[in-house]
Structure 1
Amino acid sequence: MPACRFHACRMGIGRIGKPQVPRPAIPPIDVLHSPDRSTTERILEETIMYLNRFSAFAAIVFFASTPALAETVNVSGVGHGSSTAVAMPASESLIVVHVTSSYDRFDTEDADNPFASATGPCFGAILVDKGVVSGEGLCHYTDANDDVAVIKWMANGMSAEGRTLGDWMVLGGTGRWASITGGGAFDAGGEGDDYTNIINGKVTMN
C-alpha cells in the first residue's frame, strides 16, 4: 500500500475514505480464562483430597474382596500310640479284623503341620479275602487348640512285615480343620505300645 500523503490519513481516514477506529486492547487468553491464584489452589487441594479418599476406599474394597491365599503344607511324620486288633474269621480265607488305635503324639519336622499336636482314637475294620486286603475307618483327633479333625482311612494292602498300608483323607472338623483339605498314604503297624503310623501327604489350609 502506498504511503499516505494527505491530511485525511493523519485524521484516521484510509484510502477509501472510511475512518479507521482504533481496536480495543484484548487481554491475553490466560487472563480471561484463568481463575485467581487462591481459587486455583483451592480446587487443586480439593481434587487431591478426593483422589486420596478414593484411593483409600478402593484399597479397602480390594483387600476386603480378596480371599486369603491357600497354603499347602507337607504333613509327613510318624504317629505314636497303641493299637489292638481282634480277628474274627468267617472261614480260612475270609477274615474280618476289628482294629482300634490311639495316638498320643505325632513327630514331624514341619512346625506348620496341623497334625503336630493332634491326638485321639482311630477305629474301623479290615477285611482279608483270599489274601486281598481292604477296609476303612475313621479317626477323631483333637489338637492343641481343642479343634477336632475327622480323618478317613482306607486300607488297601499289607507289607511283608505285616503292616497295614493304605490311604487317608481329611473329611473336615472344627476351627481350622473345617477348611483343611488333602490326604496321602499311611503305613501302620506294631504291637501294643510300639504301634507307629508313618504318614505321608499334603494338606491345603484354605
Structure 2
Amino acid sequence: MTGSDPKADLHHYLRSAREALLWKLDGLTEYDLRRPLTPTGTNLLGLVKHVALVEAGYLGETFGRPLADPLPGLEDDAEPNADLWATAEESREQIVDFYRRVWRHDDTTIETLTLDATGQVPWWPQQSRTVTLHRVLVHVIAETNRHAGHADIVRELIDGAAGLRADNDNLAPGDQAWWRDYRDRLQRTAEAVRDRM
C-alpha cells in the first residue's frame, strides 16, 4: 500500500475496536449492562472493564509506563474473574472514564515509541516476556476485537441491537420480518441436519 504507515494503521484499528466496544453500552440501563447472559457470566460492563485493565497492562506496564490508579481486578490477590464484572459500587461512568483514561495513556505510549521498541510482559513466561510494541499492538487489537465480538452477541441478546458501528452496521439489509425468516430458515436447516444424524 502506497503511503501506508504501519504504526498509524495499527493505531487506527485499535481505536476502531475501542469505539465499537463502547458503542455496545449506548442506551442501556445499569441492570442490562451488568446482566450475565452466558453460562460463564459474560456481561457488557465487565467486558469493558476487562479490556481496559488488559490494555493498561500491555501498553503501560509492559513499557515501563504503569497507569496511576487503575481499577481493581487484576491484583495478585484479586478473586477469580474480578476484572470481568463491575461491582455495585463501580458505575458505568467510572468504568467508561477509566477506559478513556487508558486510551489517552496508551496512545502516548504508541505515539512515543517505535514499533521495534521493546518491553517486558511480567505475567508471560520468562522465555517469551520480551516483546516489541508491534507485537503488543497486534495482541491488544486482537484482544479488543475478540471481546467486542462477545459484546455484539451480548447486546443482541439484551435488546436485539446488532452491528459493527453506529454509522455502519455491516449487516445484510432487511427488516424484522426478513431477519425472522432468515433465522427460521437457519433453524430448519439445523434441524434437517440433526434429523439425518
Classify the TM-score, shorter chain. Answer: under 0.3
Tell me which protein shows more helix as a share of its residues. Answer: 2
Larger radius of gyration: 1
Q: Using structure 2 for the length normalisation, give the TM-score.
A: 0.16
Q: Using structure 1 for the length normalisation, give the TM-score.
A: 0.16
